Structure 1
Amino acid sequence: MKKLEIFFEILFFIVSIFWTLSFYSCFHPLFLNINLWAKINFIFSFFLGTAILLLISFSAKTHFKKTIFLSIVFLIFFLVSFFKTFSLSFLSTLTLSLFFMFFLWLSILIYGTSLLEYKKLNVFYFLIVLGIFIAFNGIFYFLLLNNVVKEKQIFGGLIVSFLLIALGMSTLRNPFFEIKFFLTEIGIVAILALLSLLFFYLTDNFSKILSFLIFLIFLIFAWKFEKVLFSETESKRKFEEILKEQRELLEAKEQFILSIQHHLRTPLGPIREYLNRILKGVYGNLDNFVIKEKLVEVKKLADNVYSLVEQLIEIQKYKTKKDSLKLEKCQIEEIIQSVVEELLSSAQEKGLYLEYQKIPLPSVEIDKKKIREAIFNLVDNAIKYTITGGVKITTMVENKKLKIEVSDTGIGMEKEEIEKFLKGTPFERGIEAKKMYGPGKGIGLCLAIQFVEAHGGKIYAKSEGFGKGTTFWIELPLK
């Protein structure tokens, strides 16, 4: 909001300048020598501009009111002193200042359009712009065109004013106005203004009819173009609203996950602890074998839920950048060996092989726990989604990078699925994977990707298609 306040202060100052010049011109001898229509046009512009300035002043904060008042007092003093000190022509000085202020106003107008985000501010903004348009029109036709303006031609100035007001209305109705659209409309208004002025300056009837027809044709074109322009910006507005809704839904989902994590994790700790004590006989012997067996199953389920909550917490930490790595020098082959030893029984139960040829590798600086979990998740997934054959793990060093390859003879994946999974989105699972292994949660690969990327590495994969196996690579930089 600070930028907007500065922007409005500058606009107030410019409105004050135009109003001051109009006020001072009323007492200048040149005003008495112009024709009646020019006087009417000037007085109309002056009083309408004054009304808008007063409306802005009453609507503004006290700070802005002081700014306007001080600006007007300073400018009147400056104008009188400047003319007397340098003995310059009033017309030449006013002409230079007007053109300078016009270009300054245009640049601020373009910048201000890019700042505005709320429709309620556009109403206030439109009043300021309208005040500048009207004041500029009055001074311009009163002084600069006095020698060429005729009684009928003065209507050209009023038409230009109404065209500029139409431009302001377009800005008012479109709160998502872009600079390129604004400049396009300025071009349209400028052409229409020139055509309207041409109609009043031409004396030949045929030329007048021709210019009027051109004006009408271009007006229809401008109207059609405005409809397309508005449709495009309306689409953009709706798209912005959809994006906003999606962001809100995403935030709500993350808050929901956080809430679930908290409400699940808190009671799970004591539940698991009590189950452990019961199974160990702390509260007495369990003579009933069936009860003991069921309690073991309950313990496994509680451990699985606790593991899921822990994984969700890890994902949330990564998203919020609250997680930190505990780096230490270690041998990656030792970590892989421990993973193989832990999962070997799972592979053998399914009649699969789990091969790993241990070779010496350079030491790496990693978070041992996170990288172990990443390797574990990839190997565990490979075993889960392989029916016949097995899983093979190989390691190598290439281009100062340590590569761990996990290849299987499992169900495989299509290229589109691989691209989707490697984005690291949780709860994503393939069609064939869901059919084969229903209890899966789609979190393991997501965690593996996040852990490896946190080390400056990456995970990528390759598969020839369904039924042809999959190969995953973990790539870690060697420092």
Structure 2
Amino acid sequence: MNNQNTPLDGEFSELDNGWPESYAWAIEQMPCPAYCCSPNGTLVHVNAAAKRIWGDACPLLEDMRWDGFETLRSLDGELLDKTASPAAQAAAGQSPCPTELLAVCRDGQPRRIVVHAKPVFHADGAVVGALCCLTDISEQRRLQERERDAAHAREEFLAMLAHELRNPLAPIMSIAGLLQRANKDPGVAKMAGVVQRQTKQLARFIADLLDASRVDCVHTLPVEPRRCTKHEIVNLSLDAVETLVRSRNQRLIVEVDNPDAELCCDPERVAQALGNVLCNASAFTPDGEEICLRVYIEGNVLRAEVIDCGAGIAAEDLQHIFEPFERRALAPGRAPVGAGLGLTIAKGVCEAHGGSIFVRSAGPGMGTTVSMALPVAVCAA
């Protein structure tokens, strides 16, 4: 509807009720529920769509109705006096904002509606009533509520699953560590080391699964900012990838300016994000090739870049790269690793710190650059 209070000129004749005939004609042509009411609430013009949504033909001459619903309530459930409805406000010359309400139709059916109401002015400037249009958003809200309920149920299930899976991991890791330290047989110690590493990997995967569920449910990942240094974050992130890089005979070049620069962030979370990116780079880079990590500060922004010469990513796949469980790149001659959650979690960590993450690639076989930017640097006074 036009927001300007522009009176109609004489292209249409005036009806007996004082309304321009053009309104009756226009309302009948509108596909959405629409109606007009006089300053005292009498329904003057009602189109077929309005009658359908109300659930019955509403008497046009009944005063103080303002609409054809049995009742209107605010979103908190409070009963709304019809004389304070958007239609009544518009009929008094006001221009209320579109208002979402809970309505009960004449057949008892509940609906969620948005009422758009504007005053109608005569050529002489007098208010002759209100023009109202209705948008039925019942199905939209129902689907949104179902989606929220499903997301909540999924998060609760994953949290329970993560808890139940973590419980037996702690004693397994402890026993494996004890066997590795106490047993003099090199073969047993080696196997205990394998058990310990694989158990740590499983624990990391469980944590990633839970974190990814939070990000996918549009929750912010929990972070606990504190004072730390770049050196601390880089060392934590390298712990996650060193074994992989060594097993693939890859070369990891680390360039860090001013490693003792002070930051205010959650170092474990930032290291988790950076470690995920490094693990991805290792997974998609051929054995024996080079990966570069650059960490530096610009103003109050901590920047980290991971550059590899690996599998690369097709242009059409870049927009999906942060979606959970997506594996858009394939490392030649290497089985897929991980669950496709690393970059999803990295994005969640960056956004939880008010930062961002970007991925660039010239295409398949051309390598990938992942850039993180987090406004967490503590500027020197």
Q: TM-score range, shorter-chain basis?
A: 0.5 to 0.7
Tell whether 2:102 aligns with 1:116: yes
Amino acid at match of 1:325: E
> What's the secondary structure of 2:330's corresponding residue?
helix
Tell whether 2:187 aligns with 1:308: no
Residue in 1 that maps onto 2:172 = 271
Distance 2:326 2:357 in 1: 16
Distance 1:409 1:474 in 2: 18
Asked if structure 1 preserves the Cα contact closer than 8 Å seen for 2:286 and 2:310, the reply is yes
Asked if structure 1 preserves the Cα contact closer than 8 Å seen for 2:285 and 2:311, the reply is yes
- In structure 1, runs of 5+ residues without a counterpart are 1-16, 19-44, 50-54, 57-63, 65-100, 127-168, 187-228
Asked if structure 1 preserves the Cα contact closer than 8 Å seen for 2:311 and 2:329, the reply is no
Matched ranges for 1:75-474 at <5 A:
106-107=87-88, 114-117=100-103, 122-123=104-105, 126=106, 175-180=111-116, 233=136, 237-281=138-182, 289=187, 295-315=192-212, 323-330=222-229, 332-333=230-231, 335-336=233-234, 339-340=237-238, 343-344=241-242, 346-360=244-258, 362-387=261-286, 389-422=289-322, 425-432=323-330, 436-474=334-372
Amino acid at match of 2:88: S
Distance 2:167 2:308 in 1: 38
Distance 1:432 1:259 in 2: 32
Amino acid at match of 2:198: L
Deviation at 1:183, TM superposition (A): 7.9
Asked if structure 2 preserves the Cα contact closer than 8 Å seen for 1:379 and 1:406, the reply is yes
- In structure 2, runs of 5+ residues without a counterpart are 1-39, 42-61, 72-78, 121-132
After superposition, the Cα gap between the structure-2 partners of 1:177 and 1:269, relative to the gap in structure 1 and judged at 3 Å, is: same
Amino acid at match of 1:413: I
- Residue-by-residue CA offset, 1:311-342 (whole Å, 9 max, x unaligned): 34455677655834141142x15643664587
- Residue-by-residue CA offset, 1:140-179 (whole Å, 9 max, x unaligned): xxxxxxxxxxxxxxxxxxxxxxxxxxxxx7xx76824432
Deviation at 1:286, TM superposition (A): 7.8
CA root-mean-square deviation: 4.5
Asked if structure 2 preserves the Cα contact closer than 8 Å seen for 1:333 and 1:359, the reply is no
Amino acid at match of 2:253: E
Asked if structure 1 preserves the Cα contact closer than 8 Å seen for 2:295 and 2:303, the reply is yes
- Residue-by-residue CA offset, 1:245-290 (whole Å, 9 max, x unaligned): 3222222211110110111112222232233334444xxx68694x
> What's the secondary structure of 2:111's corresponding residue?
coil
> What's the secondary structure of 1:259's corresponding residue?
helix
After superposition, the Cα gap between the structure-2 partners of 1:241 and 1:264, relative to the gap in structure 1 and judged at 3 Å, is: same
Distance 1:247 1:442 in 2: 23
Asked if structure 1 preserves the Cα contact closer than 8 Å seen for 2:240 and 2:279, the reply is no
Asked if structure 1 preserves the Cα contact closer than 8 Å seen for 2:318 and 2:359, the reply is yes
After superposition, the Cα gap between the structure-2 partners of 1:426 and 1:324, relative to the gap in structure 1 and judged at 3 Å, is: same
Q: Which stretch shows the higher mean deviation, 405-414 or 268-277? A: 268-277
Distance 1:416 1:274 in 2: 47
Deviation at 1:442, TM superposition (A): 2.0
Amino acid at match of 1:401: V
Distance 2:87 2:316 in 1: 50
Residue in 1 that maps onto 2:126 = none
Amino acid at match of 2:207: E
Query: Greater helix percent: which structure?
Result: 1
Identity rate, percent: 21
Deviation at 1:406, TM superposition (A): 1.0
After superposition, the Cα gap between the structure-2 partners of 1:249 and 1:433, relative to the gap in structure 1 and judged at 3 Å, is: farther
Distance 1:256 1:434 in 2: 36
Query: Greater strand percent: which structure?
Result: 2
After superposition, the Cα gap between the structure-2 partners of 1:333 and 1:252, relative to the gap in structure 1 and judged at 3 Å, is: same
After superposition, the Cα gap between the structure-2 partners of 1:107 and 1:462, relative to the gap in structure 1 and judged at 3 Å, is: same
Distance 2:343 2:163 in 1: 23
Amino acid at match of 2:314: E
> What's the secondary structure of 2:369's corresponding residue?
strand
Deviation at 1:418, TM superposition (A): 2.6
How many residue pairs match? The answer is 286
Asked if structure 2 preserves the Cα contact closer than 8 Å seen for 1:434 and 1:440, the reply is no
Amino acid at match of 1:346: L
After superposition, the Cα gap between the structure-2 partners of 1:351 and 1:293, relative to the gap in structure 1 and judged at 3 Å, is: closer
Deviation at 1:411, TM superposition (A): 0.7
Asked if structure 1 preserves the Cα contact closer than 8 Å seen for 2:285 and 2:309, the reply is yes
Distance 2:320 2:352 in 1: 20
Distance 1:344 1:296 in 2: 16
Distance 2:242 2:313 in 1: 24
Distance 1:288 1:402 in 2: 44
Normalised TM-score (structure 1): 0.49
Q: Which stretch shows the higher mean deviation, 370-379 or 388-397? A: 388-397
